[in-house]
Amino acid sequence: ASVNKVNNKNCLALSRCREKSNGREFAAKFIKKRQSMASSRGVRREEIEREVDILRQIRHANIVTLHDVYENRTDVVLILELVSGGELFDFLAQKESLSEEEATQFIKQILEGVNYLHARKIAHFDLKPENIMLLDKNVPLPRIKLIDFGLAHKIEAGVEFKNIFGTPEFVAPEIVNYEPLGLEADMWSIGVITYILLSGASPFLGETKQDTLGNISDINYEFDEEFFSHTSELAKKFISQLLEKDKKLEKRLTIQDALNHPWIKVKLKAARITDSLHSLITFYFKDLHQSPAVTMMFLFFPSKITFLLGDDKIIIQVSDVLLTFELVFAQKEE
């Protein structure tokens, strides 16, 4: 097997391997075992066992699947589903543009994977772009796969869990401040990921690690016009409700809150319209101000807006008080 990636800091090596009986390919994750209590190299057995136990509980379309486990003198080897599409953010970096509708399709998949985990009281604790992969990038809508459960933890009622871990840019304030941890920490990370997905900028990144952690603890971020001038208020509201420091008062969105958020639900519905209607609404919202040939007449009703586009009558359902619209239907004006 050829080694594709090595991460010495975490004592990991990833290789591609093949099952001899049928030729099916998998990914082999080699975890270097800590050889003694006095050693700082390698991963402690209880940490490896926790990752394996959690992976064995998981069967979901948006989460990498564990197929088998082997062990030799120096390593524990996890045989995992081969996720060959690369990182989501690398894929998006190659696209000329990304609409909010497209963004919500990917965020929704992340949310569905996390929802599966949270329903089982499993916190990932390391959600970040590097751990959001594509099963196959050569399809119209690639499937998201959440990977790397090395920091994942089962949250038990009445059992306090504290730790300082994770990648600084993406950790929640309660991790920075060494407070009791729960499923809420994953929701914060999703907020950071969404911010980056829509802007290409990192909300809390400072010049140093300490600057970054300080920004997180102080909730020091903003929606810079340079990056968010074309982003909807509803999308920014979604992010803001995830980047809430006070999880105790339930201000931060839960996974169910996020899945039911208007930005996720409305945009997904809009993304499922036919190609012709998608082209029409894209033209309307992006290019209308540049098209003098378009004549509009707005008739405001409590729940809908009607306008005329040439001879076509378009009715748009108002789906949110912030005037995020869902295209319901278009019909020829008789």
d(C-alpha 120, C-alpha 63), whole Å: 14
The token pair that represents 270 in the structure block: 């809009």
Residues 156/162, Cβ–Cβ less than 8 Å = no
Q: How many residues does the chain have?
A: 334
Tokens of 262: 């208007």
- From CA 38, how far away is CA 127, in angstroms rounded? 30
Q: Are 34 and 49 in contact (CB under 8 A)?
A: no
**Tokens at 265, concatenated:** 């639900």
Nearest to 176 by CA among 213, 146, 204, 143: 213
DSSP 262-323: HHHHHHHHHHTS-HHHHHHHHHHHHHGGG-TT-----EE-SSEEEEEETTEEEEEEE-STT-
Q: Which residues are catalytic?
A: 126
